[in-house]
Amino acid sequence: MLYFIIFSFLLLLPLAAAKALPICVICTAAVSAGVGFSRWLGVDDTITGLWIGALAVSASLLTINWLTKKNIRFLGRQPLIFIAYYAMMIWPLFYYKIAGHPLNKLWGIDKLIIGIIIGTIGFTASVLFNEYLKKKNGGKAYFPFQKVVVPVGSLAILSLVFYLITHYK
């Protein structure tokens, strides 16, 4: 039941901002690379989860934007896309017993799941913050590649925070 509640929350958070958030392909590629490298390097699952959550949001929003450009619309498009991406990313983690191990928890929640939740929130907040910065500056970025630096930078900071939390607990 707890995982259903968490999953539902993950789906609702990005939907609040999904209508006009431009997510770039470079940012999605950077997040994808972060997921692959973190698992390969043996990074703690909370940090890997951060990048998985961000990847799910980024891929969902990219798909929604692509469908909008192609004028492909259908009932429940945004929620279905978010459900599909989160299911494609979370279900295999449980199926292959990567997530759900009783000894792999932080604050009583599976490390990957808590990482995915915080990664989803952090990435969505950073994209919204980037949009706020652009509006404040007349629709222009303050510096080159701001659209990439703000979201990926926020994930890097969150990764450092979770490294410190899990390394020194």
Average confidence (pLDDT) over 151-157: 92
| Domain-located, residue 60 | yes
Summarised one tens digit per residue, pLDDT across range 78-96 is: 999 999 888 888 887 787 7
Secondary structure of residue 106 in the 3-state scheme = strand
Instruction: List residues bridging with 110 in a β-sheet.
Output: 105
Looking at per-residue confidence, does 83 or 25 come out higher? Answer: 83
Which pLDDT does position 18 carry in this prediction? 46
Q: What is the H or E stretch that residue 124 is in?
A: helix 111-136
Q: CA–CA separation, 88 vs 144, rounded Å?
A: 33
**Which structural domain range is residue 47 located in?**
17-167
Which pLDDT does position 4 carry in this prediction? 47
Quick one: pLDDT band at residue 13, thresholds 50, 70, 90? very low
Quick one: pLDDT band at residue 99, thresholds 50, 70, 90? confident
Least confident interval from 72-81, 90-99, 129-138, 143-152: 90-99
| Domain-located, residue 92 | yes
Average confidence (pLDDT) over 46-55: 88
**What is the tally of structural domains in the chain?**
1
| Domain-located, residue 119 | yes
Q: Provide the residue type at 147 as one letter.
A: K
